[in-house]
A and B are shown apart, each in its own frame.
Chain A
Amino acid sequence: MLLQGDPGFRRIVGLSLRVSLTAVAVAAMIGLPVGAALAVARFPGRGAVIAAMNALMGLPPVLCGLLVYLLLSRSGPLGQFGLLFTPTAMVVAQAALIAPILAALSCQLLQSLWEEYAEQLRSLGISRLGAVPTLLWEGRFGLITVLLAGFGRAAAEVGAVMIVGGNIEGFTRVMTTAIALETSKGDLPLAIALGLVLMLVVLGVNLFAWALRGWAQRSGH
């Protein structure tokens, strides 16, 4: 099945990748700047915000799926767009799930970088918030690992995409929901094959990031 490249099977794998990678991109655009801003900003309640963000790292995917479901359902605040049970809804759910992870991890990473850079950047006349783009760029190689953590979480979760995607064959069925379905139907070979591909995908993405970091270190940054 793996080698034959059954079109239905390929579609499932492709959609998984597309949804999770898009979710990582969307979550990164929100989570990384927020994490960097929290790393440099000083305001009352900052500790509480960081604690809340850390707590959200443990948000159960089904709960995240339920919240996005309520948001996107016909009678929900964003119901008019008809996004429920589409791949877009799955992207929204996964992005909501991992944005706090990206923010919390990048905040931690960039805080130590800020300690090193703060005086020098202030001496160069750069404000705290003005330092955010600089910090994100300076932390770029560490942030790759942060993005990987987010991708791993997004690609592996099943509860949220099941609820907001509906596991519709050929449209919103991804690897994790397919595995759950095939297992309950008793088609264990298909479930195992999908599981293997899921692991290979996650492994491949990690290897790529590892190689990227290695290259960066060798080139001296």
Chain B
Amino acid sequence: MIRAEGLSYAVGGVPIIRDLSFAAALAAPLLILGPNGAGKSVLLRLLHGLLRPDAGRIEVPGPQAMVFQRPVLLRRSALENVLFPLHGPEAAPRARAALELVGLSAMADRPARRLSGGEQQRLALARAAALAPRILFLDEPCAALDPAATRAVEEIIAHLAAAGTRIVMTSHDLGQARRLAGEVLFLHRGRLLEHTPAADFFTTPRTAEAAAFLRGELLWA
């Protein structure tokens, strides 16, 4: 269960998130949708604790992990990247298992930064998965990837979700949102306009903004 109450966040006096409240059980992946500049990524960072809200309360249980739009990999081998945040005798087998999960076992000893874009993002997913997070935040994880790599990443996310990891992610790709989402938060100009099951959101949006967004007519907040 994650909960946000009266969340507000501004940068230089410009409000990015305005008085936002919601609670979600996360039984199925929660997709944060909205036009560019709606505040999706900022909301994700607030929930994960990378940003501190100006007002409001957040309850998110740990352990958490996050995967960013552009994978941030260390200048080391793929395996060492997964091992980096791990400790203890279980570290090595967990790292190996995570690489196996994302299909990069054969690349374990390759320098991480020499991998392709899709492989790098899968490696970032492996690093996050190896932490065995209760909640996994994903910020536009496929925004820079080609369709094949996108599909591979989606399969990993779906697999993690099926295995019990709670997923909270942003996406600008409506097809991807349809494929993955169980619930949708629809943001517009920093406000939460809809919080509905995905099936309802995509068929019968309640707000005019959401309907325009689904028709592809609302691209900028």
Contact = CB atoms under 8 A, between A and B. Distances in A.
A134 B84 CA distance: 10
A220 B113 CA distance: 7
Contact of A221 (B65, B75, B84): B75
Interface string B23-55: 000000000000000000000010010100000
A169 interface: no
Contact of B110 (A125, A126, A141, A220): A220
Contacts of A75: none
Contacts of A122: 50
Given A123-B48, A138-B74, A221 B66 contact: no
B111 interface: yes
B124 to A, nearest CB: 8
B111 A219 contact: yes
A124 B45 CA distance: 13
Interface in A61-113: none
A117 B113 contact: no
B68 interface: yes
B84 A124 contact: yes
A13 to B, nearest CB: 36
A140 to B, nearest CB: 8
B159 interface: no
Interface string B44-87: 01001010000000000000011010001011100000001100
Contacts of A138: 74-75
Interface in B96-139: 110-111, 113-114, 131
Contacts, number: 35
A123 B139 CA distance: 13
Nearest to B62: A125
Contacts of B76: 221
Interface in A165-220: 219-220
A221 B85 contact: no
Given A125-B85, A220-B114, A221-B111, A120 B72 contact: yes
A123 B65 contact: yes
Which of B65, B72, B84, B110 lies at the interface centre, i.e. has the most chain A CB atoms within 10 A of its CB?
A: B72
A220 B68 contact: no
Contacts of A119: 45, 50, 68, 72
Interface residues of A, number: 16
Which of A116, A122, A124, A141 lies at the interface centre, i.e. has the most chain B CB atoms within 10 A of its CB?
A: A124
A140 B50 CA distance: 27
B129 to A, nearest CB: 13
Nearest to A126: B85
Contacts of A140: 75
Interface in A118-143: 119-120, 122-126, 134, 138, 140-141
Interface of A: 116-117, 119-120, 122-126, 134, 138, 140-141, 219-221
Q: Which 5 A-B pairs rank lowest in CB-CB distance, beginning with the nearest?
A: A220-B111, A120-B72, A220-B114, A124-B85, A123-B66
Interface of B: 45, 48, 50, 65-66, 68, 72, 74-76, 84-85, 110-111, 113-114, 131
Given A117-B72, A219-B111, A220-B110, 11 more contacts: A120-B68, A122-B50, A123-B50, A123-B65, A123-B66, A124-B65, A124-B84, A124-B85, A125-B85, A138-B74, A221-B113
26 contacts: A116-B72, A117-B74, A119-B45, A119-B68, A119-B72, A120-B68, A120-B72, A122-B50, A123-B48, A123-B50, A123-B65, A123-B66, A123-B68, A126-B85, A134-B74, A138-B74, A138-B75, A140-B75, A141-B75, A219-B111, A220-B110, A220-B111, A220-B113, A221-B76, A221-B111, A221-B113
